[in-house]
Structure 1
Amino acid sequence: MSESYISGTDHKIIIIDNAFNELDKIINYANNTAYYQPPGKDGTLYPGSRDEMPEPYYQAFSSLLARVFTSTVKHQVARCWLSKITVKPDQLSPLQTMPHYDSLLSEDMAAVHYLSGSELGGTNFYRYRKYDKVMLSKSDEPIIVDMLKQHQASNAQGYIDESNDVFEKIHSVEAKPNRVVIYSGNILHSPSVTAKVEFEKNSNNSRTSINSFFKRLNKT
């Protein structure tokens, strides 16, 4: 396990390699058993197809969190989504062409478990240039409204990767099979989608990951 900070900030990212035992069983489930719902059926803007992971994965993920965090912190797992990006760049809605946040609460965390390699893209982190914002909270709602207006005016197309006039890419995590990256859900981020990604669920070059969301709670 390693820890790093997003460049120029005090926002920590945790990276765990070889995170789960029996990765082959997880990949077999992803390729041969999972029933992927159409984009949007999970109630989010994720640009692809998803299926909720079975209970054994929840148990393994909870065990991983127990190893990562100290005994003074407990966690509550909300969802573990098996995810494949299947929406083509020219089919994205405007909100899908910008970095996003998963929550505005500092205790809400996110994790990405990569099943694909670096050739299909990792995760990028961004700063909203105008207000120098990397992490957002409920008190930033006026800034979020402004950010959406600025992004819409930019007429951005396709998946964001590099910096543009509205957002600066300030940190990247490379994908690696069986690597897990953990970060605060209120940090602006986006999946990196490389030119090698094919937007078909059954393709050998589909970008596949497990996106998990959990809450950190101090023990009382």
Structure 2
Amino acid sequence: MIELDSESTVEINPVGEEQTKVIVVDGFVSNVDALKNSACEVSGYTPDGKTSYPGVRAILPDEYVDLVVQFSVPLLRREFSIPENVTFNVTMAYFSLLTVAEKNLSIPQRLPHFDTTKKHYYAVLHYLNDGDFGGTGFFRHIPTGFEKVDNARKDLYKQSVLSFMAIRGVPDPAYIGESSAQFKCYSKVKYKSNRLVIYPGNLLHCGLLSESQDVCADPRKGRLTASIFIDFDAE
């Protein structure tokens, strides 16, 4: 049985010029090894078919998803002023393993991205395995200055990205690292086993990854994370 650790710590970190809150929880569960064992026992790791995640995914256990929701939803309501009468849905819940070699990255996989333009859609990312893996970076789009992309910014942002690549060329087939000519990494969360990171899905973000450290299809050894996406019906 997977349980919350009563000694976990919660930090609320406003990041960037827009001071968007990113929540970091250390020591999230008391028995992270049980969750890692579950990841090794599950079958059917495949691309999710919905996102540009550069790897494979498998369904998370229901009891763990329920635990994350019970912890995260009250915290999100408080920190992002979401009323109690606003409903929510868990849109995706996966174990995730980075498996795509740099030479095989699509163009979107070489760039920071946003998950949605919705205001109250949140990514909950739980780092699981021990290891020197890449964390998560938050990026500012240099030509527009955007740190997050909502419906009002979406068209301008996409047009600007395409125009930049038309003039400067597409990025080389590589993980972005910390910054590029088009994007500046202004904040990052280091990978640490049993650390939970929660952030709005409209923030421009990307894993701070390298092929040599992070690409591995073995859930016992790779950059194993649990990824849950929570969508509040509030727009």
Per the normalisation by structure 1, the TM-score is 0.89
CA–CA distance in structure 1, aligned partners of residues 161 and 129 of structure 2: 31
1:1-220 alignment to 2 at 5 Å? Answer: 1-37=10-46, 39=47, 41-66=48-73, 68-69=75-76, 70=78, 72-73=83-84, 75-117=88-130, 119-149=132-162, 150-151=164-165, 153-157=168-172, 158-194=174-210, 196-202=212-218, 204-216=220-232
**Larger mean Cα displacement after TM superposition, 6-15 or 74-83:** 74-83
CA contact (8 A) 2:120 2:233 kept: yes
Does the C-alpha gap of structure 1 residues 204 and 54 become closer, same or farther in structure 2, counting only changes over 3 Å?
closer
Unaligned stretches of 5+ residues in structure 2: 1-9
1:200: how far off?
A: 3.0
Output one character per residue of 1:81-123: Cα deviation in whole Å (capped at 9) or x when no partner. 1100100111101111000000000111111100134611110
Does the C-alpha gap of structure 1 residues 200 and 92 become closer, same or farther in structure 2, counting only changes over 3 Å?
same
Q: Which amino acid aligns with 2:208?
A: S
Does the C-alpha gap of structure 1 residues 119 and 194 become closer, same or farther in structure 2, counting only changes over 3 Å?
farther
Unaligned stretches of 5+ residues in structure 1: none
RMSD (Å) for aligned C-alpha atoms: 2.1
1:165: how far off?
A: 1.1
Percent of aligned positions that are identical: 24
CA–CA distance in structure 1, aligned partners of residues 213 and 220 of structure 2: 9
1:198: how far off?
A: 4.9
CA contact (8 A) 1:121 1:193 kept: yes
Output one character per residue of 1:184-203: Cα deviation in whole Å (capped at 9) or x when no partner. 10000001113542533126
**Larger mean Cα displacement after TM superposition, 74-83 or 53-62:** 74-83
CA–CA distance in structure 1, aligned partners of residues 232 and 24 of structure 2: 17
CA–CA distance in structure 2, aligned partners of residues 137 and 33 of structure 1: 36
Does the C-alpha gap of structure 1 residues 118 and 131 become closer, same or farther in structure 2, counting only changes over 3 Å?
farther
CA–CA distance in structure 1, aligned partners of residues 89 and 219 of structure 2: 34
1:179: how far off?
A: 0.7
Does the C-alpha gap of structure 1 residues 181 and 21 become closer, same or farther in structure 2, counting only changes over 3 Å?
same
